[in-house]
Amino acid sequence: MKILNIVETAYRATLEEQDDTILWLSHALKNAGADITLLLRANAVNYAVKGQNAGGLTFGSLQQEHPPQLDKDLEAMSEKGVPVYLVEEDMLARGLSDGNLITGITKINLESLPAFIDQYDQIWHW
């Protein structure tokens, strides 16, 4: 069963979670044996930007010790064999170019998206 996880929503409670919950879920599904592919679209394309830094938050006397590292999470998943794609038009619309991205990301354009999703048995749009 080939699963395509499409991630659209970005930075939703990532500081509280210290993760993106869908990236985390995708990684956990891979660990459980799932054949999973990740597609970043809309604002979630920004997860592939290198150099994100969410550190430095303090609440009263409590400092957040392990802020999210979404780019690193994507790299870890990619190294584990999860193919990671992003929608090129969404990347360009946010002023991003190839030089902004971590390695291991494959771009796909909107025109080819229908044929792309057609390869998968399950399409989970988060």
Q: How far apart are the C-alpha atoms of 87 and 10, rounded to whole Å?
A: 14
CB of 121 to other proteins, least distance (A): 7
Residues with Cβ within 8 Å of residue 49, at least 6 apart in sequence: 71, 96, 100, 101, 102
Q: How far apart are the C-alpha atoms of 54 and 64, rounded to whole Å?
A: 10
Q: Which is nearer to other proteins, 13 or 15 (CB)?
A: 13
Q: Which is nearer to other proteins, 25 or 54 (CB)?
A: 25
Q: Which is nearer to other proteins, 28 or 57 (CB)?
A: 28
Burial class (CB in 10 A: 0-12, 13-18, 19+), 100: middle
CB of 55 to other proteins, least distance (A): 21
CB of 122 to other proteins, least distance (A): 6
Q: Which is nearer to other proteins, 31 or 58 (CB)?
A: 31
Strand 58-59 to strand 62-63: parallel, antiparallel, or no bridges (unpaired)?
A: antiparallel
Binding site for other proteins (CB under 8 A): 1, 8-9, 12-13, 17, 21-22, 25, 28-29, 31-34, 41-42, 110-111, 113-115, 117-118, 120-126
